[in-house]
Chains A and B, each alone.
Chain A
């Protein structure tokens, strides 16, 4: 009898406990999500007004900006620039602005963009520095960027900045498709570097299974290469896809990083890595037996850009940083690693035998953006599942 009552009693407590537990966890989860949604809405609404207000304030800002420029503060900057470059560039920045502390988060383009997007509800970064323009367009679409015209933005070539009246992002340099060729391994195949000069040369039967390229679905470099080839062969024809299919016959694997093909070529894991210029040049400087070949037909390309993040309170020091990040002092630094800079440069390029600017194809960014999804799904259908099934 007593035990029966105890069981009953216990059951009741149990029910209550479970109810409380569920209510608490559901409450927390829901408040996190729905609260986030509400926040977004109000932020978007406020953003719209702020945009208008900003355009006005920026114009006035531009006139009296030098007087108000912040010279102290602490900011968080997200970047996809290389580690060593970041350290070197920041040292120069801090020589000029010793009282501005810049905390850096550096990751590959994919991870840093995913992180920025995930943090949308409550942005952690004050500014984004040296990150792919294609990523900037996505952030811009999401309304995450604050329009800001950094000092000296007029010097930036028009195709290197967003087309808004007050730009939401401003480019600093470009990176482009390059073939990284391991000369030692190439020799074993009976070929010389001079035999590899164009996209067509990659179709040579000797190179079968010796080419590594990045996967456009996981790497920005892979995508700009594919988009470049499609444009070179004629945007709306099948010629580009015909070429990619033939190339596919020679490709050993598609990897998930833009610089990895260059590293694999440097380590002799493949003979030709379809990567980007800097990745190959830095491997060569490390002592790898590689040559960097820019295809004669031209290279697909994308740019690295800066932007101000939209936040409740914008750190004035972030604007100071963005001003500096397109100044001549900064451009001179970028130029060492990425010869193609957003101000056009002076035609003097170390490590390049040809003029790299003429190397860039005429990139139709609108066409690329509009067809991005189609290109990627067609690529997956043709090559991704096929290569996996083998």
Chain B
């Protein structure tokens, strides 16, 4: 490794350590202190494990995470497969609809489910008897929340394929199933494992759905909320927070096991995959995608219904009055603040995540450093927003921290977003980079082409889809994020997602719906610009 590379690697690791390990240390160290701040050893853990509700919370959390993961992985894979490996119609349209859930604040998912399955819901009115509040509601909501993430990672992995393998298989008379299990699945096994752990961890740590739809169904994430924002017991909150890290650590170990056996599949000589004609296959996948899309479009319909009726469901008269916002929630100013914050997060987050992934994936030597780097990259997924928010306060608000001037500014919001949403961009970038032949590096080294040049001329352009997806991911998530920024936004810098929460809390469902529509609008617009950019810059390299 050259000195310049080493310097960059060290700088990245130091920066990431600073914004992640620093805050986490300042929060999690409290797990070993008692309320007076003296050392308590493992007493807090003993107390927590001794409480009768714990085993229930753990069992419930594992249960909903497991079911959610199974559903999301299957649905996400089938949907991504339909878009990348079939000739069905309407692919562009379905690509948008799959992402609707991440374009909307999570409170809208819950509203949609209440309007569908609640006591006054449309399906309930048709005689579908369900108990929305509890396990069923949480799982449905978590599937809506994790599906787009699974879909995004699968689509990036499936988009890149070496056509020669399939041609060879065809000429040898391998069946469709044989090709699927022999080429396609092994090809993306790294992504499958990652998607599994991403969905599992997201469902494991998510607090939004259990809070709104959980009823008496306790999970670890509601336990942490009760400790921090109900009983103000930071020490116990830290205890639960450390427990939530477990799946991420497991996924880190599993990820290492898989990636050590992962060979790069698209080498410099790869050809584009030609999708064969098959009418019934296209029809089946079309129906499937249409059903999933219909569910998501229903969420948007709910928004319009909420924003346009007087008082759902008791007064269905149409009105436009909800479109005049109360100035009290920060009004339209918070919307522009959100745009600015999301743009900064997307620009810096994408650069950071992609370069970071490149340094982890495409450099040689210093295995220990890179292993440490991968561990850092695996942890953010397991951090509930509340943990990110509170630990950022403890760390950056400390008087002795030279960086404490960023507290209360947009900078700390951007940093918390980059950290909070780091895992999926990192996996997306890694997945995409893994597909690039390492021959590129050795050829460039032997031709004395600088790595920087290689990165800018070959690696980055070849991963353009991934780069743009990461940008989008950071942008839309920053537009709708609540759980971390609610602890960090300054008195002079309010954001739209918080405003929506306030409107919803105040019972102004209609205004919340109207503001959500504005967020949806900008997210779709950015997505459209992205599609245009992708079209213009698309090069036929593969």
- Residues of A near any B CB (own CB < 8 A): 10, 13-14, 17-18, 20-21, 24-25, 28-29, 31-33, 35-37, 39-40, 76-77, 82-84, 86-88, 103-108, 110-111, 113-115, 117-119, 121-122, 124, 135, 138, 184-185, 215, 217-219, 252-257, 259, 262-263, 266-270, 282-283, 286-289, 376-377, 380-381, 384-385, 387-390
Contact = CB atoms under 8 A, between A and B. Distances in A.
**What 8 pairs across the A-B complex have the smallest Cβ distances?**
A35-B400, A253-B215, A103-B491, A387-B216, A110-B229, A87-B328, A218-B230, A385-B53
A87 B325 CA distance: 13
Nearest to A389: B56
A21 B14 contact: yes
A10 B26 contact: no
A184 to B, nearest CB: 7
Contacts of A24: 14, 17
Given A256-B225, A269-B119, A385-B56, A117 B329 contact: no
A16 B315 CA distance: 71
A314 to B, nearest CB: 17
A297 B120 CA distance: 32
Contacts of B328: 83-84, 86-88
B368 A14 contact: yes
Contacts of B232: 113-114, 117, 135, 138
A257 B26 CA distance: 28
Contacts of A84: 326, 328, 506
B51 A380 contact: yes
A76 B494 CA distance: 14
8 contacts: A14-B368, A32-B401, A107-B486, A114-B487, A121-B397, A122-B407, A217-B231, A286-B507
Contacts of A117: 232, 234
Nearest to B315: A287
A14 B364 CA distance: 12
Contacts of B393: 115, 118-119
A103 B114 CA distance: 35
Query: Which bucket holds chain B's interface residue count?
Result: 35 or more
A289 B29 contact: no
A123 B198 CA distance: 36
Contacts of B366: 10, 14, 17
A285 B492 CA distance: 31
A310 to B, nearest CB: 14
A215 B369 contact: no
A37 B134 CA distance: 42
A33 B229 contact: no
Which of A14, A219, A252, A267 lies at the interface centre, i.e. has the most chain B CB atoms within 10 A of its CB?
A267
B119 A268 contact: yes
Contacts of B127: none
Interface string B85-115: 0000000000000000000000000000010
Contacts of B173: none
Contacts of B17: 21, 24-25
B14 A25 contact: yes
Given A124-B491, A389-B56, 16 more contacts: A18-B372, A21-B10, A25-B21, A28-B18, A29-B22, A32-B395, A39-B398, A77-B491, A105-B489, A111-B487, A114-B228, A121-B399, A124-B407, A215-B226, A218-B229, A387-B216
Contacts of B315: 287
B456 to A, nearest CB: 26
A105 B408 CA distance: 11
Interface in B384-409: 390, 393-395, 397-401, 404, 407-408
A306 to B, nearest CB: 17
B26 A388 contact: no
Nearest to B229: A110
A121 B398 contact: yes
Contact of B506 (A21, A82, A218): A82
Contact of A269 (B6, B114, B228): B114
A114 B393 CA distance: 11
Interface stretch (B143-151, B273-281, B306-314, B534-542): B306-314
B523 interface: no
Contact of B400 (A31, A83, A104, A267): A31
A259 B505 contact: yes
A36 B229 contact: no
Nearest to A38: B400
Given A29-B22, A388-B217, A21 B400 contact: no
Interface string B510-528: 0000000000000000000
A268 B120 CA distance: 6
A83 B14 CA distance: 41
Given A28-B22, A259-B505, A384-B218, A217 B400 contact: no
Interface string B187-224: 00000000000000000000000010011111000100
